[in-house]
Amino acid sequence: MFKNYKEFKEYADENGILIVDFKEVDMAGRWHHLSVPIEYFTEELLSKGIGFDGSSYGFLSVEKSDMVFIPDLSSAFFDPLVEMPTVTMIGDIYKITGNGYERFQNDPRYIADKAEQFLKKSGISDECLFGPEFEFYLLDNIEFRNEINHIEVHIDSAQAGWNTINSPHDEQSRNAGYKILHHKGYHADIPHDTTYDLRNIMIRTLEENGIPVKYHHHENGGPGQVEIEVKSATVREMADRTQKIKYFIKNLAIQYGKSATFMPKPFKTECGSGMHIHIQMNKDGKPIFYDENGYSKLSKTALSAIAGILKHSDSLLAFTNPTTNSYKRLVPGYEAPVTVCFGNANRSSVIRIPGYAMSPNEKRFEFRPSDATCNPYLAYSAMVMAMIDGIKNNLDPTELHFGPYDKNMYSLSEEEKKYIRALPKSLSEAADALESDNDYLLDGGVFTKEIIEGQLKKIRSDALEISLIPHPVEFEMYYDL
């Protein structure tokens, strides 16, 4: 938003800004923040930064945890969600050394920078563009309790099919009907689509804060599943936008009496929420994924990029699908891909080539497994590194038996399944894959061994924690044995 401190100061004076808020991302992808009064935001602060405890972010151990973040003026935006006039900006993380500061190699935002620089240095492309589709549920109530003797979750949505008799939370109120039944939510219209006005507010807020939106609609899940798809941007910029998108969606939902969740599988038999990612590359201002004579008009470069992603898909999931709940979505029958292959217009494959994107500037492919519980800086960067590996090594997805497949991959025969690899079925399997397949991430110093080890430690810890907890359904199945 701002090129220098002078531009910021002029804007702050003209708009009565009173607070400057700083966002920093932790390893899990959550934003933390710290705020200062406008009087304290000086050129000196901008150059020296603000100290913080890096151990609380999972970056450093407690005995050597002092770090500094320096605000990035170009990331600044006016925050319409808070009461006092506030400008928010993202901080870059620095490590304290004997000679001053140096950029912290494991800062997720810096990893995205390094991935973009490595791509340019490779000569493959000047820019890689990511265009995510954000699926999420807008709910009216969520309650959960996890104690040694009491495990319970209760979720409610006013428009859900189970509320055809009683209105939620108020038995005396009138129920007007118009509920969305199980699996019947795709492109539902008003009055069934009860969150339409709220989504309009969300997308206008995104547009006003520099995030162009393609469209939004109700998704398949009847209890309030919706989607907002945004226009493409470069790796770090889209990671920044992803953080902002989740920030605006969650907080606007709260302001309007709803709760938004990007949890991949909150409901047992409803569709899960993913974050399908459309990918393009340009060089010298021209698209390099298009070839009039290629399969589905894809160039050899695009096919090699696809091969790189599919080759490394199992280890990629440790970053793109980093929660135990992610793998409850990646199951057959719920519109989520489970088969490591690619195909034209095939939504059952890991890589789908949109059939309607036919012009050179539109030509792209879509990575379908990922979900929005990821740290976007790490997930997008890992995908770039997999594509670079595929292109540098001239991989051919057909020679590697990844397709193309233009059939429903959910209905393969047992004989056909023998020749096609499936995605990891659990977070532990994804962790095993990352442990054995990570050299492509370390290429050019983009990722570090510390980042990979840190991710493995976190996701293995999560998997172990969940594995130790009895599931309520187990009591139905086994209590009386």
Percent of the chain with pLDDT over 70: 94
Residues 89 and 194 placed together within one structural domain of the fold:
no
Query: Domain check: are 97 and 185 in the same one?
Result: no
Q: For residue 388, what are the contacts with CB-CB under 8 A and spacing of at least 6?
A: 118, 119, 122, 124, 308, 440, 443
* Catalytic, out of 7, 53, 406, 465: 53
* β-pairing verdict for 225-230 and 127-139: antiparallel
Residue 358: per-residue pLDDT: 79
62 pLDDT higher than 70: no
Task: Examine residue 219 and state whether it is found in any structural domain, yes or no.
Answer: yes
Whether residue 9 has pLDDT greater than 60:
yes
Range name among 79-83, 337-341, 415-419, 466-470 with the lowest pLDDT average: 415-419
Whether 368 is a known active-site residue: answer yes
| Residue in 219, 237, 240, 335 annotated catalytic | 219
Average pLDDT for the chain: 92
Please indicate, yes or no, if residue 428 is contained in any of the structural domains: yes
pLDDT in tens, 380-420: 999 999 999 999 999 999 999 898 887 666 666 777 667 78
Whether residue 250 is found in the same domain as residue 131: yes
219 a catalytic residue: yes
> Domain range spanning residue 21?
5-104
163, part of any domain: no
Q: Which of 135, 240, 314, 335 is catalytic?
A: 135
pTM value is: 0.95
The reply to whether 32 and 134 lie within a common domain is no
CATH code for position 387: 3.30.590.10
Catalytic residue among 216, 368, 389, 462: 368
Catalytic residue among 227, 240, 314, 462: 227
Question: What DSSP character marks residue 180?
Answer: B
Residue 116 counted as domain residue: no
Q: Please report whether residue 306 resides in a domain.
A: yes
Question: Residue 272's pLDDT is what?
Answer: 95
Alpha carbon 43 to its chain's center: 34
Domain membership of residue 222 (yes or no) is: yes
Considering the domain architecture, whether residues 352 and 431 belong to the same structural domain is answered as: yes
Q: Cα–Cα distance between 94 and 35 in angstroms, integer?
A: 18
**Measured in whole angstroms, how far is the alpha carbon of residue 101 from the centre of its chain?**
30
276 noted as active-site residue: yes
- Confirm whether 133 is a catalytic residue: yes
pLDDT of residue 171: 52
Interval 110-127: pLDDT, tens: 999 999 999 999 999 999
Neighbours of 123 (CB within 10 A): 9
CATH number assigned to the domain comprising residue 71: 3.10.20.70
Looking at the structure, tell me whether residues 148 and 80 fall in a common domain.
no
Is 196 part of any domain? yes
- The residue annotated as part of the active site, out of 103, 183, 192, 347, is 347
Whether the CB-CB separation of 341 and 351 falls below 8 Å is answered with: yes
Among the listed residues 218, 241, 276, 278, the single catalytic one is 276
**Which pLDDT belongs to residue 55?**
77
Q: What is the average per-residue pLDDT within 353-378?
A: 93
Bin 381: left if φ > 0, else alpha if -120 < ψ < 50, else beta. alpha
pLDDT at residue 464, as a whole number: 97
pLDDT of residue 168: 54
Question: What is the number of structural domains in the chain?
Answer: 2
Shared domain for 149 and 100, answered yes or no, is: no
- In this structure, of 87-101, 287-301, 363-377, the range with the lowest mean pLDDT score is 87-101
- Position 315 in a domain: yes
Catalytic residue at 480?
A: no
Catalytic position from the list 21, 133, 140, 389: 133
Q: Does residue 461 share a domain with residue 396?
A: yes
- Identify the active-site residue in 366, 371, 389, 462: 366
| Residues 345 and 254 both lie in one domain | yes
227 is catalytic: yes
206 shares its domain with 263: yes
Tokens read off for 22? 């700083």
Q: Does 188 share its domain with 84?
A: no
Active site includes 471?
Answer: no
Answer for the pair 108, 91: CB distance below 8 angstroms, yes or no. Answer: no
Rg (CA), the chain: 23
Is 135 considered catalytic here?
Answer: yes
Q: What crossing angle do the helices spanning 427-436 and 449-467 adopt, rounded to 10°?
A: 160
Same domain, 59 and 142: no
